[in-house]
Structure 1
Amino acid sequence: MKWRRRSRVFCMSPAMTEFSQGSLPDKRQVAASFSRAAASYDSVAELQRAVGSRLLEQVPASVVAADWLDIGCGTGYFTRALGERFAAASGMALDIAEGMLQHARPLGGATHFIAGDAERLPLRDASRDLLFSSLAVQWCGDFAAVLSEAQRVLRPGGVLAFSSLCVGTLQELRDSWQAVDGHVHVNRFRQFTDYQQLCAASGLQVLNLQVQPHALYYPDVRSLTHELKALGAHNLNPGRPGGLTGRARILALIDAYERFRQPQGLPATYQVLYAVLQKEG
C-alpha cells in the first residue's frame, strides 16, 4: 500500500523485524521539544497523518463514543477527525506539550483541551468510551501505567486504540551514525514483544496488535534530519552527544547513508505498532 504526496512515497509492508530494548527520553525534554515544533509540525507530518488515519479506521464501527479522549493530540488533526466521526459526543484532547495545545485549541474538535500525562490521566474512573492515541505513547517511560490508566478511565466495553513506534525505527539512520562515531544519535523505542507482554497483562482484551513497517524516501540526508527537527522528534535520548555536530561527521554520515539509497531515494523506515484493546463489559 502506498501514498504519493509531493516527492515522497509511503510504503507499507506486513514484514516484522526483531527488536532490542533501549532507554527513553525525559518527558520534560519531550514536552519542550514538541512545544517548539508546534508551528512547523503540520507541514511535515504526512506519516503521522497516514498512521493516525489507519488507526482511526481500526476503531470498531460498533463503538458508540459518548465521551472520548485524544491522548497526545499534538496540533489536533485527529481531535478534529474524532469530532467529525463522533459528532454527538463530548470530546477531550490531552497533550504533555503546552505549545501543541495552544496551536490546537483555536481549531476546535473537542470540548476541552488539557495539559496532562498519559501515565496519570486527569479523569474520573469509568468516564470515557474511547481512548485514541496516535504516535504518542512511545515517549511514555512507564507503559504499564498507561494501560492501567486506560483500564481505570474506560467504561465497560470501552476501547483503547493506539499506535506507537518500535525498535527498528529509523534503523538506516542509526546504522549510518554507528559507522561514523558509535554515539547515540537516534531515539530509542520499545520492542514489539514488550508491547505484547504488557498488553496481555493489562486486563484489557486485545482485539488487534501488529507492526507494520512504513518507509519514507528522501532526496538526501539533510531533508530527513530537517523533517525530524521540524516534527520535534529529533534525538532526545539520554547519552546523546552534546554540542554541534562537526562538518566532517555530517559528511561521513551522508556518505554512510548512501549505501541504503534506492531508486525512490534514501529510505527512512518506521516500525509502527497498531493496537486496539477493549475493556470487558
Structure 2
Amino acid sequence: MMPDKGAIAASFSRAAASYDSVAGLQRDIGHALLGELPATTSAGRWLDLGCGTGHFSRELARRWPAAEGVALDLAEGMLRHARPQGGAAAFIAGDAEALPLADASFDLLFSSLALQWCGDFAQVLREARRVLRSGGLLAFSSLCDGTLAELRDSWREVDGHAHVNRFRSPQDYQRLCAGSDLQVVSLHVSPLTVHFPDLASLTHALKTLGAHNLNPGRPGGLTGRARLRALVRAYERLRQPEGLPATYQVIYGVLRK
C-alpha cells in the first residue's frame, strides 16, 4: 500500500522552507540523473516532474537556456517556494499519474526522487508517453525496496510496526518499464550510502525533508523513551568508522518515446 497522496503533498509542503538545507543527497542523485542523459539530448520544451523547491528546474534552464520549461509538483507548498526563484516558465500543481498537460508537448520529462510516491507506476509511464513528443525522453530516478534498510532492521528489533517508507522492488521497475510502450535506453540500480553522527541526525534529516514515515499502518502518537533507547542500541551495532550508515537503493532510468 502506498501513502495517501494528500498526506504526501501536505508533508512536503510543510518541508518546503527547510528542504534545501538537508538535501545534499537528493541533489547528488539528481545530478547523477542528468549525467544519464544521452550526450545528444535536446530539449526545446522540458518538464521537471516533481520539481520540489525548483533546484533542478533551474539546472535544466541553465542547460537549455533557449528552451521553455515547466515545473510540476503535487505539493502546493513546494511550488510557492520554487516560483519566486524562477527557472521555469510555468509552475503547475499536478499528479504524475494524471498530468494536466497536452499530448505530445514535451521533449524531455525529468523526474528525480518523486515517482516513488506514485502507486501506479504503469500509469506514470502511460502519462509520460502521452505528453512526450516522438523521440522525447523520460529520465527518472526513484527509490527501491531496501532503502533505509538499516533503520528498518533496527526498528524490527523493537516492534512490529512499519516505521520506514516502503518502495517497489527493482524487478517491478524493470517489468513495468519493459512492458511500457517506451524504449528502455538505460535502467540500473545504484546504492548510495550516507553516514550520520547519530540516530537523531538521521531522523531530523528525514523530517526536515518531509520524507519521514508516511506509510499506512505507521504507529500514531509519540515514540516512548524506552523504545527509542532500544532503537538506538540496535542501530549503534551497525556503526561504521564514518558514522551510522543509511543506504538508499536508487534506480535510474532513461526511456524514449
Q: Give the alignment of 1:180-195 within 5 angstroms.
A: 180-195=158-173
Aligned-residue CA RMSD (Å): 0.5
Residues 1-281 of structure 1 aligned to structure 2 (within 5 Å): 23-279=1-257
* Aligned-pair CA distance for 1:245: 0.5
Instruction: Please give the alpha-carbon distance, in whole angstroms, between the structure 2 residues aligned to 1:64 and 1:195.
Output: 26
**Match for 1:144: what amino acid?**
A
3-state SS in 1 of match to 2:235:
helix
Q: What is the alpha-carbon distance in structure 2 between the residues aligned to residue 57 and residue 213 of structure 1?
A: 16
CA distance in 1, matches of 2:46, 2:104: 11
Per the TM alignment, residue 24 of structure 1 is displaced from its structure 2 partner at its CA by 1.4
Give, in whole Å, the separation in 1 of the partners of 2:157 and 2:6: 30
Deviations 1:185-210 (A, max 9, x none): 00000000000000001111101100
Equivalent-residue separation in structure 2 for 1:258 and 1:172 (angstroms): 10
Give the fraction of aligned pairs with identical amino acids, expressed as a percent. Answer: 71
SS in 1 for 2:175: helix
Runs of 4 or more consecutive aligned structure 1 residues displaced over 6 Å after TM superposition: none
Letter in 2 for 1:109: G
Q: Letter of the aligned partner of 1:104 in structure 2?
A: A
Per-residue CA distance 1:112-150 (angstroms, 9 max, x = gap):
000000001111110000000000000001111100001
Using structure 2 for the length normalisation, give the TM-score.
0.99
Amino acid at match of 1:78: F
Task: Tell me by how many angstroms 1:182 deviates.
Answer: 1.4
Relative to the length of structure 1, the TM-score reads 0.91
Q: Which residue of 2 is the match for residue 3 of structure 1?
A: none
Aligned partner of 2:100: which letter? Answer: P
Tell me the CA shift for residue 259 of structure 1.
Answer: 1.1
Deviation at 1:61, TM superposition (A): 2.0
Q: d(CA) in 1 for partners of 2:123 and 2:152?
A: 29
In structure 1, what residue type is equivalent to 2:102? R
Deviation track 1:56-77 (CA, whole Å, cap 9, x = no partner) reads 1111121211110000000000
Quick one: which amino acid aligns to residue 71 of structure 2?
A
Letter matched to residue 54 of structure 1: A
Partner AA of 2:21 in structure 1: S
Q: Which runs of 5+ in 1 are unaligned?
A: 1-22
Q: Which amino acid in 1 is paired with 2:89?
A: T
Between Structure 1 and Structure 2, how many residues are aligned? 257
Corresponding residue of 1:15: none
Counterpart secondary structure, 1:260: coil
CA distance in 1, matches of 2:48, 2:142: 14
